[in-house]
């Protein structure tokens, strides 16, 4: 499977926008917040402001998955896993750690995915090297919710497709190496292990890993035969933009692609979830920018938001629990609306069972989720055919509101779950495209507001989740009178989250992760890069957990080197 996504693939190739070459489970016991050590000032090595995963105080049992695994082709690497003999479950927490290195030279950014028993345990992308830089970085992920797959021996797969050789007269020689391990933290004393899903069902393509979605009608599907006592169901899904879809937020209607030198199917994408062909849930697509995206100097040493470690979006399918537990086979489907060659999608279905009853009953009461969104495109493009020159703006809006309600009769009574969700999307692009200029500015926001009401007997609890993904991209490529060219890019990405939970005693979990980057590239008349200037990237990360704990860090880089680290600025609550 090819994982070359880049339309702006490396520092020898300019943005293809111009068609020119650009050469949850919280442990019951106390947790230790793992703050990353102070990064090295003056370093160009990849670095992010995110904290490490919090751990219990107890020492873990560490199970290596693989060490110094070499990726220099497109063959997935198989590894084996066995549960830790010294730390029998249940566990207070399970943490995946991984370390990556790319040898110095030239290489694309690559998709990196690890699976265990075909369940996704890590998904992200890699950093690009330079002739004098061999980037190395570390990622961590809380995988406690996948405990069900860690209790038995499994075969795993590490998939980082990476071409090493000569293509188009260019030598790609960056080899990727990776280590990965699982840390199992035993429960100590009178503490209790967190309740984790009893069943984990991987949802992937035909090859057992992420599946390809080439258009709106494309789906990856998974047959489901869940236990008859299933009472809660969730889906953790990742839909990654690739190839023509990599910069989907810059896309336009297909009849404007030639004039505006962009991709097609409009600047709107959305992940759709179905059960037996019927709408069951929606997931937003995060506008990730990879380390080779637009201008690689933007992302060195600080990558974009989530670039090295994607966060899955959790879709609540609990109103469908009784349907999925009725003893009949069902089919779960995942697609991306407006996909245009192509997206990759992977997901894990997580099911909780009623441990006091072998079989539940119930049903789906109502579902107002429509089969597809209805985005509205407003074009205001003026054409001057003497140039030709195309100027103006395109606005895309999509708004969806729906409610899904279902119930289960369990050993602890009837439980009624109602999900109410509103999803709003807006993308405004401004264009000035001519034979000597390609100026395209985009301002986009995806917002998801969810309220889940759970009624059991006479008690009712309400939880809320609010997500917002603002993106602002200003891109300018201008050809000078002497045939040289200048490209100026400014990017601002954010991940805003706010969650209220009834068992948190009124406390709120918040996250505000922002990366702002700018750079200028100079090209000769053959569009070879002469150099860059004015490069500056800042990441600000602030997070507050339900216990009131606060973490904050700001990183600043200039000229591809880290110049400042600031900790402890506070955790103002974002309002996504």
Write the burial class of residue 169 (CB in 10 Å: 0-12 exposed, 13-18 middle, 19+ buried): exposed
Across 258-265, average pLDDT: 95
Q: Is the pLDDT of residue 274 over 50?
A: yes
Q: What is the DSSP string of 187-229?
A: --TT--PPP--SEEEEE--TTSSPEEE-STT--EEEEE---TT
Bridge-partner residues for 505, per DSSP? none
The per-residue pLDDT for 35 is: 54
Per-residue HEC secondary structure of 85-115 comes to CCCCCCEEEEEEEEEEEECCCCCCCCEEEEE
Tokens 């074009």, located at residue: 379
Question: Tokens standing for 383?
Answer: 């054409």
The per-residue pLDDT of the chain, averaged, comes to: 92
Distance CA(196)–CA(194), nearest Å, equals 6
Tens digit of each residue's pLDDT (9 = 90 or more) over 118-175: 999 999 999 999 999 999 999 999 999 999 999 999 999 999 999 999 999 999 999 9
Measure the CA–CA gap between 274 and 283, rounded to whole angstroms: 11
Half-sphere exposure of 374 (CA within 13 A, CB side): 5
* Count of beta carbons in the 10 Å neighbourhood of residue 64: 12
- Concatenated DSSP letters for 290-332? -TTSS-GGGGSSS--TTTTSPPPEEEE-GGGHHHHTSSS-EEE
Pairing between strand 529-544 and 52-56?
unpaired
Other C-beta atoms lying within 10 Å of the C-beta of residue 386: 6
Please state, in angstroms and rounded to a whole number, the distance separating the CA atoms of residues 9 and 6: 4
Q: Where are the beta strands (DSSP E) in 242-292?
A: 270-275, 278-284
Residue identified by tokens 């609306």 is 337
The least confident of 31-40, 64-73, 366-375, 534-543 is 31-40
Query: Does the pLDDT of residue 185 top 80, yes or no?
Result: yes
Average pLDDT over residues 240-263: 96
| Token pair of 229 as six digits | 């006592």
For residues 293 and 284, what is the distance between their CA atoms, to the nearest angstrom? 21
Calpha distance 362→319 (Å, rounded): 10
- Cα separation of 380 and 431, whole Å? 10
pLDDT at position 188, please? 87
Q: Which residues of 397-429 are buried (b: 16+ CB within 10 A; e: fewer)?
A: ebebebbbbbbbbbeeeebbbbbbbebebbbbb
For the four alpha carbons of 105, 109, 110 and 114, in that order, the dihedral sign comes to: positive
Which helix H or strand E contains 532, and what residues bound it? strand 529-544
Range in 303-317, 346-360, 545-559, 560-574 with the lowest mean pLDDT? 560-574
Rounded to whole angstroms, what are the CA distances from 79 to 26, 351, 541?
Answer: 29, 26, 34
Rounded CA separation 511/552 (Å): 10
- In the chain, how many H helices and how many E strands? 3, 32
DSSP class of residue 7? Answer: S
Q: Identify the band that residue 28 occupies on the pLDDT scale cut at 50, 70 and 90.
A: very low
Helix, strand or coil, per DSSP, at residue 121: strand
Q: Pairing relation of β-strands 170-172 and 220-224?
A: unpaired
| Backbone phi and psi for residue 573, each to the nearest 5 degrees, phi listed first | -75, 120
CB atoms within 10 A of CB 358: 11
The more confident residue out of 32 and 87 is: 87
Mean pLDDT in residue range 323-344: 97
Alpha-carbon distance of 140 to 149, in angstroms, equals 18
d(CA 555, CA 334): 37
Tell me what pLDDT residue 149 has. 97
- Asked if 431 contacts 470 with a C-beta cutoff of 8 angstroms, the reply is no
What is the C-alpha to C-alpha distance for residues 26 and 30, in angstroms, rounded to an integer? 10
Phi, psi at 396, each rounded to 5°: -120, 130
User: What's the rounded Cα separation, in Å, for the pair 180 and 168?
Assistant: 34
> Rounded CA gap, 80 and 78, in Å?
7
Q: Are 343 and 212 in contact (CB under 8 A)?
A: yes
Confidence at residue 36, expressed as pLDDT on a 0 to 100 scale: 65
pLDDT at residue number 573:
55
Determine the Cα–Cα distance for residues 101 and 256; give it in Å rounded to an integer: 41
| CA dihedral sign of residues 216, 217, 223, 226 | positive
Residue 3 has pLDDT above 50, yes or no: no
pLDDT of amino acid 23: 26
Q: How confident is the model at residue 572 (pLDDT cuts 50, 70, 90)?
A: low
């Amino acid at each position: 499977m090819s994982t070359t996504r880049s339309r702006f693939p490396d520092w020898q190739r300019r943005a293809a926008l111009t068609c020119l070459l650009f050469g949850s489970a919280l442990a019951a016991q106390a947790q230790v917040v793992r703050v990353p050590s102070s990064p090295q000032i003056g370093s160009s090595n990849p670095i992010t402001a995110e904290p490490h995963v919090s751990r219990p105080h107890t020492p873990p049992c560490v199970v290596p998955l693989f060490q110094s695994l070499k990726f220099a082709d497109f063959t997935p690497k198989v590894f084996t896993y066995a549960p830790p003999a010294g730390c029998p479950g249940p566990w207070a927490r399970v943490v995946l750690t991984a370390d990556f290195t790319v040898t110095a030279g030239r290489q694309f950014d690559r998709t990196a995915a690890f699976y265990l028993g075909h369940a996704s345990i890590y998904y992200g992308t890699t950093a690009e090297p330079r002739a004098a830089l061999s980037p190395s970085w570390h990622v961590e992920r809380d995988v406690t919710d996948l405990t069900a797959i860690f209790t038995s021996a499994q075969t795993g797969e590490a998939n980082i497709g990476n071409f090493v050789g000569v293509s188009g007269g260019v030598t790609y020689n960056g080899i990727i190496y990776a280590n990965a391990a699982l840390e199992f933290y035993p429960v100590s004393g009178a503490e209790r292990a967190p309740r984790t899903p009893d069943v984990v069902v991987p949802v992937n393509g035909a090859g057992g890993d992420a599946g390809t979605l080439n258009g709106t009608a494309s789906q990856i599907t998974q047959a489901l035969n869940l236990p008859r006592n299933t009472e809660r169901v969730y889906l953790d899904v990742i839909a990654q933009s690739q190839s023509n879809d990599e910069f989907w937020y810059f896309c336009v209607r297909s009849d404007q692609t030639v004039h505006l030198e962009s991709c097609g199917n409009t600047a709107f994408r959305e992940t759709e979830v179905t059960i037996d062909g019927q709408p069951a849930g929606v997931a937003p697509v995060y506008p990730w920018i990879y380390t080779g995206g637009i201008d690689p100097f933007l992302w060195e040493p600080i990558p974009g938001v989530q670039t090295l470690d994607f966060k899955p979006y959790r879709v609540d399918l609990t109103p469908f629990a009784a349907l999925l537990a009725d003893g009949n086979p069902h089919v779960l489907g995942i697609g991306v609306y407006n996909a245009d060659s192509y997206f990759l999608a992977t997901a894990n279905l997580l099911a909780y069972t009623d441990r006091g009853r072998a079989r539940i009953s119930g049903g789906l009461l109502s579902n107002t989720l429509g089969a597809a969104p209805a985005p509205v495109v407003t074009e205001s493009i003026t054409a001057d055919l003497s140039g030709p020159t195309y100027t103006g703006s395109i606005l895309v809006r999509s708004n969806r509101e729906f409610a899904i309600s279902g119930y289960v009769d369990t050993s602890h009574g009837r439980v009624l779950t109602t999900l109410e969700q509103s999803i709003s999307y807006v993308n405004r692009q401004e264009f000035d495209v001519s034979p000597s200029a390609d100026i395209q500015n985009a301002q986009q926001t995806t917002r998801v507001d969810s309220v889940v009401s759970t009624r059991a007997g006479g008690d009712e609890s309400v939880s809320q989740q609010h997500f917002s993904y603002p993106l602002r991209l200003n891109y300018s490529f201008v050809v000078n009178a002497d045939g040289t060219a200048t490209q100026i890019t400014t990017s601002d990405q954010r991940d805003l989250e706010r969650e209220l939970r009834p068992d948190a005693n009124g406390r709120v979990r918040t996250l505000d992760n922002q990366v702002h980057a700018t750079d200028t590239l100079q090209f000769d008349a053959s569009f070879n890069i002469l150099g860059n200037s004015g490069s500056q990237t800042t990441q600000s990360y602030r997070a507050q957990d339900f216990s009131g704990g606060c973490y904050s860090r700001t990183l600043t880089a200039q000229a591809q080197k880290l110049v400042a680290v600031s900790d402890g600025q506070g955790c103002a609550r974002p309002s996504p």
